Amino acid sequence: MAVKGDRTRARLIDAACSLVEARGYFGAGLNEMLQAGGAPRGSLYHHFPGGKDQLIAEALAVSGREIEDLIRNVAEGVPDTGALVEAVLDALADRMQEAGYAKGCPITTVALETAATNDSLQRVCADVYDGWQRALVDRLVADGHAPGHAEDLACSLLALIEGALVLARAGRSRTPIERARRSVRALLGT
């Protein structure tokens, strides 16, 4: 029974990840998440007693870990931070383009919708962004940047990535991604 329940829970989280990224917190309805997850309504409150907010919080955390893992995994195979950011931009842009620009960053929409009104989801979004920034800081320090400078650069690089994704999604064009790629080296002084 636990295995079936675990699968149901995982399907609901996967469905929430996809729907929330594409439609945001307010656009992703519970009925849609249940249908996409192939679960009856009772499953939602069984697995997520906190309801929609808990389900979305867990989906954001899962999506956030996936992107952090992407950053850390790419960091191991590239020569420097510039190559890392360019590769991450490319991976996220490819993902966005494959989704017909219906998706971009899995966190941004919810962060913008809930930052001022939902403390628990705001905190999850902030924690996810912090994890991504930490991954960038780690690579910058490994490249020889002083920790304080690495913090500043990582924040700027993350803002560059997120901004490029928002502009690319809004314009349904990779042009902002390509411009951001060119700006990375200038920002890093390489």
Identify whether the C-beta of residue 47 lies closer than 8 Å to the C-beta of residue 86.
Answer: no
Residue 11 lies in a domain: no
Instruction: Find the domain containing 75 and state its range.
Output: 57-188
* Structure tokens belonging to residue 59: 């989906």
Arithmetic mean of pLDDT over the chain: 94
Residue 12 lies in a domain: no
Residue 125 lies in a domain: yes
**Greater model confidence, 45 or 173:** 173
Residue 12 has pLDDT above 50, yes or no: yes
- What mean pLDDT comes out for the span 16-45? 92
pTM score, two decimals? 0.93
Residue 127 has pLDDT above 70, yes or no: yes
Residue 131 lies in a domain: yes
Count of domains for the chain: 1
Residue 4 has pLDDT above 80, yes or no: no
Going by C-alpha positions, the residue among 103, 102, 39 that lies closest to residue 66 is 103
- What mean pLDDT comes out for the span 2-17? 88
Residue 34 lies in a domain: no
Q: Helix, strand, coil: what percent of the chain each, to 5? A: 80, 0, 20
Residue 175 lies in a domain: yes
**Helix orientation angle between 81-98 and 51-76, rounded to the nearest 10 degrees:** 130
Residue 109 lies in a domain: yes
148-180: pLDDT as tens digits: 999 999 999 999 999 999 999 999 999 999 999
Residue 98 lies in a domain: yes
> What's the CATH code of the domain at 110?
1.10.357.10
CA distance 20 to 14: 10
Encode 91-117 in three state secondary structure: HHHHHHHHCCCCCCCCCHHHHHHHCCC
Q: What is the pLDDT of residue 1?
A: 45
CA distance 190 to 186: 6
Helix (H) or strand (E) holding 123: helix 119-142
65-124: pLDDT as tens digits: 999 999 999 999 999 999 999 999 999 999 999 999 999 899 999 999 999 999 999 999
